[in-house]
Amino acid sequence: MRHGNKNRTLGRVRKQRTALLRGLAISLIRDGQIKTTIAKAKELRPFAERLVTYGKQGTVASRRQAATALGEPKADTIKKLFEEIAPKFKDRNGGYTRIVKMGRSDGRDEAIIEYVE
């Protein structure tokens, strides 16, 4: 029984799901917006917003936490998160991303997840 298990499994085991979220988050940081399914976007939202919160703190410890959450990505990804994305949200308390539903295509519900300007 699945009592108390509220996360979406996305048809994957935990390691695959973690790798998927890391890849989506890195793409979101790099490109500013990505097109994916609604379920993946809804799972990505809290993950990505936590990364922006780390970026707003701006400490060495938060930089290391963000790097660990992203699976030790390239240095330019972390740099962009901390120096370009996070400063835009210094006066905002949460709600850094937006999910825009695109409708159905190819048999799936698609959405765009992007940072709020």
Three-state DSSP class for 81? helix
Digit-coded pLDDT (tens) for 70-116 = 999 999 999 999 999 999 999 999 999 999 999 999 999 999 999 99
Full DSSP string of 4-72: T--S--TTS-HHHHHHHHHHHHHHHHHHSEEEEEHHHHHHHHHHHHHHHHHHHH--HHHHHHHHHHTTS
Predicted TM-score (pTM) of this structure = 0.94
Digit-coded pLDDT (tens) for 6-20 = 889 999 999 999 999
DSSP state of 79: H
Helix (H) or strand (E) holding 76: helix 75-80
Look at the domain 14-115 and name its fold: 50s Ribosomal Protein L17; Chain: A, (3.90.1030)
